[in-house]
Chains A and B, each alone.
Chain A
Amino acid sequence: MIRASNVVYSYLKYGRTGEEPVSVRALDHVDLEIERGSFISIIGHNGSGKSTLAKHFNGLLFPKEGTVWIDDLPTDGKGNLAQIRQKVCMVFQNPDNQIIGATVEEDIAFGLENMQVPTEQMQERIDRSLEAVGLTEKRNENPGCLSGGQKQKTAIAGAVAVSPQCLVLDEATAMLDPRARREVIRVARKLNEEEGITVILITHFMDEIIHSHRIFVMDHGVVVQSGTPKEIFADPGLLEQYHLELPPVTKLAFGLRQKGLPLELPVLEPEELLKQLLRIRKGGGAC
């Protein structure tokens, strides 16, 4: 679905007037491949280049060196941009910059019109996506009158309604309460499993990525690691090195194992910890 080969990107920082702009390298020879229909996550410290990379996936930024392909379309800024944006839909970190409608519903409808969704399908898609994020009661509200989390939900509903081939969520859940956060991840997984939509999740919440097919770890503009959640979470030292951490339950299981409980590590979910504890008790040979 998406392939990045040797991608380099630098921003020009202008800063104080009169001074020469400085070039800041945000992506440093990034190679990665995302298969169609997969659910992948990108994690990394603040400023590691996650958003910059994501903006390459729908042609908001173009590589200074190297190439990004969406299917077989290179994002070189030469004419296939509209096609690329039809395929890849992005939800940004700050929803203020992407909400434009006068009401929540209009905002979602606007996105659908842009994607040339037939009018007769629009209402149903709007209803479904509002329901999915739990925003139905605010449908006629002016987006300016929403709370922070409700704005994020509006942006997510807009992207979900479009049902693109690839959905990029760039910290789209950063301001949601735990239940809403879980709900959004559930919706994304459902779109992935049932409709084969490729999902790219960028997040600082480690508990959101435990179901990904693959996790990419970024550090200072470089993809330094990639692997399945079990692989990535097997080594607490590795994550710490990159300013990241284990989910709480994973840490707890590490501690219990160190104190002698024969747990199979890493444990990624409370449910899994419980199962293993019950198994150990049955076996009788705990400590």
Chain B
Amino acid sequence: MLIDIQHLNYTYPSSGGVSVHALNDITVSFEAGSFTAIAGYSGSGKSTFVRHLNGLLRADSGDIRFQGESIYGKKYPISRLRQKVGLVFQYPEHQLFCRTVLEDAAFGPLNMGHDRETAEQMARRALERVGIGEELFSSSPYELSGGQMRRVAIAGVLAMGPEVLVLDEPSAGLDPYAKRQLFSLLKEMQGEGVTIILVSHSMEEIAEYADRVLVFYGGRICMDGSPEEVFSNKEELDRIGLEMPQIMECMWRIREAGIPVEGLSCSEAAAEELILKAMKGGSDA
């Protein structure tokens, strides 16, 4: 197992108000080369969880093993973990700080000990992969549109060539085309053996790209399965305040209304077929 997490607990120190037990006894593991999505309502603990994966936050109790070794061990090199497990923050502004886009994307590789030329080479390649053109390389990251900024933030992490890529709501603010581009890139990286863990509020994109979805609820993992399994459990989704992808919701409603579609699906092609079949099945005259 690539990442093995046992009984993780984390409580934010209170800010005058009540302290928040943001992670409650989380036990979960991730296989190398897997593609996992994390869903859950606002404040359910998703960002808190992913910030533990590269050691940015330290659990109050419990353990995280990366490639068999506890990252909380006394001599464990956290800086090397940060290179192997790349984390893209929820707000890209929080991780952009250099004067130009190119310098920003080259920062990680430089920090890893590459010379400037190699680092810039790696940065260029990463920027290209997220669709940021040469013309923006010398812009300040703060002179970009929201979606452009996010892509630069992703490139900065990609440039380090991480083994695990953790992304906190990476598609927020991206236009539909850029979203598709990002996900085909992530799929490509998965094909190269990179493990992908991402937080998302888009059930559509989870259904289309992830192999597994974890649902957070009140600091716990309350669902864990394939997108089809998780999303077809309407009762549980209602309880925890999540929604089905729109295609599946259509099918669910159609079935509820008495048109006999056999099964639920997240995929458009499958939905099309099932609905056509049900409609051909004759009318209830």
Residue numbers of A with Cβ under 8 A of B are 11, 13-17, 19, 44-47, 51, 93-94, 96, 138, 140-142, 144-150, 153, 171, 174-182, 204, 206-207, 243-245, 247-249, 251-252, 255-256, 259-261, 270-271, 273-274, 277-278, 280-284, 286-287
Contacts and interface: CB of A to CB of B under 8 A. Distances in A.
B259 interface: yes
B10 to A, nearest CB: 13
Nearest to B143: A13
Interface of B: 12, 15-17, 20, 39-43, 46-47, 90-91, 93, 99-100, 138-140, 143-148, 151, 168-169, 172-179, 201-204, 241-243, 245-247, 249-250, 253-254, 257, 259, 268-269, 271-272, 275-276, 279-280, 283-285
Given A15-B100, A46-B151, A282-B283, 13 more contacts: A45-B177, A45-B178, A51-B145, A147-B46, A174-B172, A179-B41, A243-B177, A243-B178, A245-B176, A261-B279, A271-B253, A277-B279, A278-B259
Contacts of B47: 147-148
Contacts, number: 180
A94 B95 CA distance: 14
Contacts of B173: 46, 93, 171, 174, 204
A283 B269 CA distance: 25
A174 to B, nearest CB: 4
Contacts of B284: 281
Contacts of A46: 145-148, 151, 173-175, 178
A178 to B, nearest CB: 4
B146 A176 contact: no
Given A175-B90, A261-B279, A252 B145 contact: no
A54 B268 CA distance: 35
B275 A256 contact: yes
A15 B138 contact: yes
